[in-house]
Amino acid sequence: MASLNRLAVIVKGWPRLSETFIAQELVGLEQRGLALELWSLRHPTDTRRHALAGALKARVNYLPEYLWQEPLRVLRGWLVARKLPGYAQARRHFVADWRRDPTPNRGRRFGQACVLAAEMGPETVHLYAHFIHTPGSVVRYAALMRGLGWSASAHAKDIWTTPEWEKREKLAEARWCVTCTKAGRDHLEALAPGKVRLVYHGLDFARWPAAPARPARDGSDRENPVVIVSVGRLVAKKGYDDLIAALARMGTARAWRFIHVGGGPLKAKLQAQADAAGISARIEWRGARDQADVLATLQAADIFVLASRIAADGDRDGLPNVLMEAASQGLPLVATDTAAIPELVGPESGILVAPGDAAALAEAIDSLVADPGRRARLGAAADARVRSEFPFARGLESLYDMLAECVSPPTPR
C-alpha cells in the first residue's frame, strides 16, 4: 500500500467519452491505494459520461481553460508561483520554449502551470501527466516551480505531433515515461534511452462480458443484414472517408448495414460523401455514446472495421482501445496495417489492409459479409488473443509499482 502522500494527475479534459482508458486506469490506481487529485486543463464537452468516470473518488480541479476567463485566479496563481524556489528555472524553460514555439497555447500552458503550482496542497509529492504534449508542459513547469518530480504517459497524437526537441527535453527531465504501444516506445526510447517503458492499457474484463453467440447471417436476407460497426472520432486519422468509399464499392449485391459510434468535426462531410455514393440508407450515425451503449452495439454486430491512417499533420492512432473492446466481444477485425494496430490484429484474428486502399478494404469486408463461418473463427481468435495478451491488471500493476515508488517517502538510511 502506498503512503497517503498525494499524486497529482493532470489530464487534458475530464471526463471524455473517447478516453475511457484513462478513467479505467485512475479508478484502478485509486482502488489499489494511491491517493489521487485530478487536475484538468479543460472542462468536459461531452453531453454523456461513462459510469466509470463516476467511480473515481478523487477531487477533480479545473484549471483556467483560457487565461482571460479567470484573470484574478491567474494573477493570484502567478503571485504565489513567482515566490516559489523553482519559479526562475521554470520561467527560463518557458522562455526557451516560447522562442521556438511563440504561440498563445504555449503561454496558456505557463499560466496554467502557475495556477497549478500555487493551488496544489503540501501533500502533493509527485505529478503525473496523461499525454506528454500540452499536459506534459503544464506539469513540467509546475514541477520545476515546486521542486517536485514528475512522470508522464504518452499515447498517440502527443508522440507523433510534438516536435522532437520538446520530446527530448521533457523525457530528459521526467523521472520516467510510459507508453501503450511498441511503436511509440521504440520512437521515444530512441530520443531518451532508458526512460521509456511499455505498458499496454488492456481491458478490465470484469467490465467486458464474454462474447455473445451470433446468428450466421451471410448477406442473402434483406430483412436480416450483416451488421458492420466502427467506433471512433470522426477525424482525419481514423480514415472514415476511406471506409465510406469502401462501402460504396461493395454495392447492393449483399445485405449489409453500417453503424458508426462517435462524434467529431467531419460528420457532415462524411454524411455528404455517403449521400453522393447512394449508400446513406444503409448507414446509421449514432454519435457519441457511453460505454454501455458501445458494448450493446458491439454485441449486436457481425464485423468491426477501423480504417486508420497517418493524417497530414503526422497524427495517427496508437493501439485503439476499441479494437480490443471489439475483439473481447468475438468480432472479426478489419483494420489497416498502420501505427500499432498490428500489435493486436494478425491474420489469425482479422484482416489487415494498406491504409488508404479503399478497394482492398471493400474486398476484405465483403469477404466476411458472405462468410459467417470465417467471421466466427476470426472473432474467437481475436477474443482469445485480447484476453491472454492484453489484460488490464497486468499493465495496471506495473504502473502502480512505478507511481507508488514516486509517492512513497524515502527509506531512512
Which of 79-83, 185-189, 199-203, 266-270 shows the lowest per-residue confidence on average (mean pLDDT)?
A: 199-203
Question: For residue 260, what pLDDT band results from cuts at 50, 70 and 90?
Answer: very high
β-strand 124-130 against 196-198: which pairing, if any?
unpaired
Report the alpha-carbon distance of residue 411 to residue 408 in Å, rounded.
Answer: 9
What mean pLDDT comes out for the span 8-20? 87
Conformational region of residue 154, where left means phi above 0, alpha means psi within -120 to 50, and beta covers everything else: beta
pLDDT at 409 (0 to 100): 64
Give yes or no for a cis peptide into 15 (omega within 30° of 0): yes
- 372-389 and 321-328 are packed helices; what angle lies between their axes, rounded to 10 degrees? 120
Sheet containing 226-231: order of strands: 283-285, 256-261, 226-231, 303-306, 333-336, 350-353
Q: Give me the residue label for grid cell 457519441.
A: 288
pLDDT at 70 (0 to 100): 97
Per residue in 81-111, pLDDT (tens digit) is 999 999 999 999 999 999 999 999 999 999 9
Which residues lie across from 8 on neighbouring strands? 37, 127
Helix (H) / strand (E) element for 152: namely: strand 149-154
pTM of this structure: 0.86
Q: Give me the residue label for grid cell 465510406.
A: 244
- The DSSP secondary structure of 156-173, one letter per residue, reads SHHHHHS-HHHHHHHHHH
Q: Give me the residue label for grid cell 481475436.
A: 382
Inform me whether the pLDDT recorded for 206 exceeds 60. yes
Per residue in 147-185, pLDDT (tens digit) is 999 999 999 889 999 999 999 999 999 999 999 999 999
Per residue in 121-157, pLDDT (tens digit) is 999 999 999 999 999 999 999 999 999 999 999 998 8
pLDDT at 53 (0 to 100): 78
Inform me whether the pLDDT recorded for 358 exceeds 70. yes
Which residues lie across from 127 on neighbouring strands? 8, 150
Which residues lie across from 92 on neighbouring strands? none
- Does the domain at 6-202+391-407 match CATH 3.30.360.10? Answer given as no
| Lookup: cell for 266 | 467531419
Inform me whether the pLDDT recorded for 251 exceeds 90. no
Domain with CATH 3.40.50.2000 in the chain: 6-202+391-407, 226-389
Report the alpha-carbon distance of residue 232 to residue 287 in Å, rounded.
Answer: 10
Per residue in 298-328, pLDDT (tens digit) is 999 999 999 999 999 998 888 999 999 999 9
pLDDT at 4 (0 to 100): 62
Per residue in 46-64, pLDDT (tens digit) is 667 767 778 899 999 999 9
In terms of Cα–Cα distance, which of 269, 261, 257 is closest to 287?
Answer: 261
What three-state secondary structure class fits 226? strand
pLDDT at 208 (0 to 100): 86
CATH H-level superfamily of 226-389: Glycogen Phosphorylase B; (3.40.50.2000)
The mean of the pLDDT values for the chain is 93
What mean pLDDT comes out for the span 338-356? 94
Question: For residue 2, what pLDDT band results from cuts at 50, 70 and 90?
Answer: very low
Question: For the chain, what percent of residues have pLDDT higher than 70?
Answer: 97
What three-state secondary structure class fits 106? helix
Longest CA–CA separation in the chain, Å: 76
User: Letter for the amino acid at 214?
Assistant: R
What mean pLDDT comes out for the span 247-276? 95
What mean pLDDT comes out for the span 384-407? 93
What three-state secondary structure class fits 360? helix
Sign of CA pseudo-dihedral 244, 247, 249, 253: negative
Helix (H) / strand (E) element for 54: namely: helix 51-54
